[in-house]
């Protein structure tokens, strides 16, 4: 009886510690976001009360979300939500500092992302219904991506040379279909390979993967195509563990890439500036050169939000947003952003080790790998360590499609954490 009482006391202390931990992290997050919001709300002697109200609403929502999920639904693991709130807050701040009217769109995107995140978490709870929709979802996603390409190609036209944006309402907002197919790609891949026992059956998923990648090449969305291919390799290797099969697929991909470059010279032309940006300072290397110069000028603490010069360069809040983080918020915050994505990957691997099903393990690692690889393409692309592919920085870059997709990918990672479904897996949270 004494040991039982002692155990209960220890459990209560542990729960209290976790509660204090959550409150303390939220408090730090709130202070950071308020400090970031002040230069945006009070700019050049003007008071932008609408933007202030949106910042305040975002902070209040963070507290309410955690409180409701913990008290009403007994959730205890909020690591991913805190990371998403942190990154989304940075993106919203920088976007609002460049364009005050852009903040509302980003807030709506965050809200939609959280809704998709919670719905997907609920749906992933039952692996049987996941398996039931994998084939229809594969057909629908591939057909939708192909249909979007045809519509853009012959109706709306290309944007910046690519056919990957559907413009709605005469420019009111735009949709990037490939971002939503990322969700289906992870879902279908993990669900399809969950029950297959031989490496040969990987080719069943290969047809779907190559179909998606092929359409993306037709869209001239090469960065996203590369992300899809990397995610496919992760999913295939986790299921089979067959290095020879993966090498075979990589060799086939290289041969295909060589043929594409040979027959489609414009593909190679898009990457001709790689490692030669300083030779094209005012032409094709304009964005990267400015990013490198302005990012370094920020130093450790940054020039302050609104005081940078990269904001005047095209795509400053989308493709080049990491440069803005460096310049205006400082190398310390930029380094924290990078470390955050590494933590996401480690968190996914840790959850995968104890995941109750191979579906959860595959989906979590694939989603984390996709996010980490996309982050690497973005950061190393603008710094000329890799070719510039024009992909977004998850959660931080402006864009509704990217924000919704990032939240959805987090759902796959969180679903692998046995604390997420304590009643289902009988885990004492």
Lowest-confidence range among 130-139, 203-212, 315-324? 203-212
More confident residue, 283 or 258: 283
Instruction: Give me the mean pLDDT over the 130-159 stretch.
Output: 89
Cβ contact 190:366 at 8 Å? yes
Q: Give the per-residue pLDDT at 13.
A: 45
Residue 11 pLDDT > 50: no
> Where do we find the tokens 């591939």?
142
Separation between Cα atoms, residue 280 and residue 43, nearest integer Å? 35
Q: How confident is the model at residue 243, as a pLDDT?
A: 65
Average pLDDT score over residue span 130-146: 91
Is residue 265 pLDDT above 70, yes or no? no
Average pLDDT over residues 241-265: 62
Distance between first and last Cα of the chain: 23
Q: What is the mean pLDDT of residues 335-349?
A: 95
- Please give the structure tokens belonging to residue 186: 């992870």
What gap in Å lies between CA 103 and CA 111, rounded to an integer? Answer: 12
- Please say if the pLDDT value at position 424 is more than 80: no
Sign of the CA dihedral running 207, 209, 215, 220: negative
Domain ranges of the chain: 109-425
The rounded mean pLDDT for the chain is 85
Q: How confident is the model at residue 8 (pLDDT cuts 50, 70, 90)?
A: very low
Residue 306, pLDDT > 50, answer yes
> Per-residue pLDDT for 16 more than 70?
no
pLDDT at 222: 85
**Mean pLDDT of all residues in 257-266:** 58
- Predicted confidence (pLDDT) at residue 216 exceeds the cutoff of 50: yes
Q: Is the pLDDT of residue 253 over 90?
A: no
Least confident window among 12-16, 317-321, 347-351: 12-16
What's residue 267's pLDDT?
59
pLDDT at position 10 over 50 = no
Predicted local confidence at residue 326, as pLDDT: 96
* Whether the Cβ atoms of residue 367 and residue 413 lie closer than 8 Å to each other: yes
Instruction: Work out the pLDDT band at 249, boundaries 50, 70, 90.
Output: low
Place of tokens 């959805």: 408
Q: How confident is the model at residue 2 (pLDDT cuts 50, 70, 90)?
A: very low
Model pLDDT for residues 63-113, shown as the tens digit of each residue? 999 999 988 888 888 999 999 999 999 999 999 999 998 899 999 999 999
* Phi, psi for 365 (deg, rounded to 5): -65, -40
User: What is the C-alpha to C-alpha distance for residues 89 and 77, in angstroms, rounded to an integer?
Assistant: 20
pLDDT per position as a tens digit, 284-300: 888 899 999 999 999 99
Q: What's the pLDDT score for residue 282?
A: 86
Instruction: Report which of residues 41 and 427 the model is more confident about.
Output: 41
> pLDDT: is 148 or 172 the higher one?
148
């Amino acid at each position: 009886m004494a040991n039982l009482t002692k155990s209960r006391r220890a459990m209560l202390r542990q729960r209290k510690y976790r509660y204090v931990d959550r409150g303390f992290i939220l408090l730090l997050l709130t202070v950071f976001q308020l400090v970031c919001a002040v230069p945006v709300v009070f700019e050049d002697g003007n008071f932008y009360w609408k933007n202030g109200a949106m910042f305040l609403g975002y902070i209040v929502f963070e507290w309410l979300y955690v409180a409701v999920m913990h008290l009403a639904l007994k959730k205890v693991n909020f690591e991913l939500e805190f990371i998403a709130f942190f990154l989304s807050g940075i993106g919203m701040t920088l976007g609002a500092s460049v364009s005050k009217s852009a903040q509302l769109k980003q807030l709506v995107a965050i809200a939609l992302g959280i809704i998709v995140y919670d719905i997907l978490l609920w749906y992933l709870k039952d692996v049987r219904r996941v398996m039931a929709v994998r084939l229809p979802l594969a057909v629908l996603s591939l057909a939708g991506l192909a249909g979007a390409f045809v519509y853009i190609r012959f109706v709306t036209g290309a944007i910046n040379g690519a056919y990957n944006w559907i413009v709605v309402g005469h420019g009111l907002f735009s949709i990037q279909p490939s971002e939503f197919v990322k969700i289906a790609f992870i879902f279908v891949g993990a669900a399809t390979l969950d029950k297959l026992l031989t490496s040969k059956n990987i080719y069943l998923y290969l047809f779907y993967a190559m179909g998606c990648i092929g359409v993306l090449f037709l869209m001239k969305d090469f960065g996203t195509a590369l992300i899809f291919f990397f995610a496919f390799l992760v999913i295939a290797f986790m299921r089979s563990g067959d290095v020879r099969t993966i090498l075979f697929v990589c060799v086939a991909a290289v041969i295909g890439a060589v043929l594409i470059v040979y027959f489609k010279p414009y593909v190679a032309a898009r990457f001709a500036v790689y490692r030669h940006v300083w030779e094209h300072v005012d032409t094709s290397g304009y964005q990267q050169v400015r990013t490198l110069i302005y990012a370094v000028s920020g130093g450790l603490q940054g020039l302050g939000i609104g005081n940078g010069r990269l904001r005047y360069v095209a795509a400053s809040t989308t493709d080049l947003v990491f440069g803005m983080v460096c310049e205006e918020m400082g190398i310390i915050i930029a380094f924290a952003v990078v470390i955050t994505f590494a933590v996401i990957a480690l968190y996914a691997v840790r959850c995968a080790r104890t995941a109750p099903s191979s579906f959860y393990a595959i989906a979590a690692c694939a989603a984390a790998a996709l996010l980490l690889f996309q982050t690497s393409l973005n950061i190393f692309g603008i710094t000329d360590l890799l070719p510039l592919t024009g992909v977004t920085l998850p959660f931080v870059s402006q864009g509704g499609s990217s924000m919704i997709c990032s939240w959805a990918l987090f759902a796959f990672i969180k679903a692998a954490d046995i604390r997420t479904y304590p009643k289902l897996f009988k885990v004492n949270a």
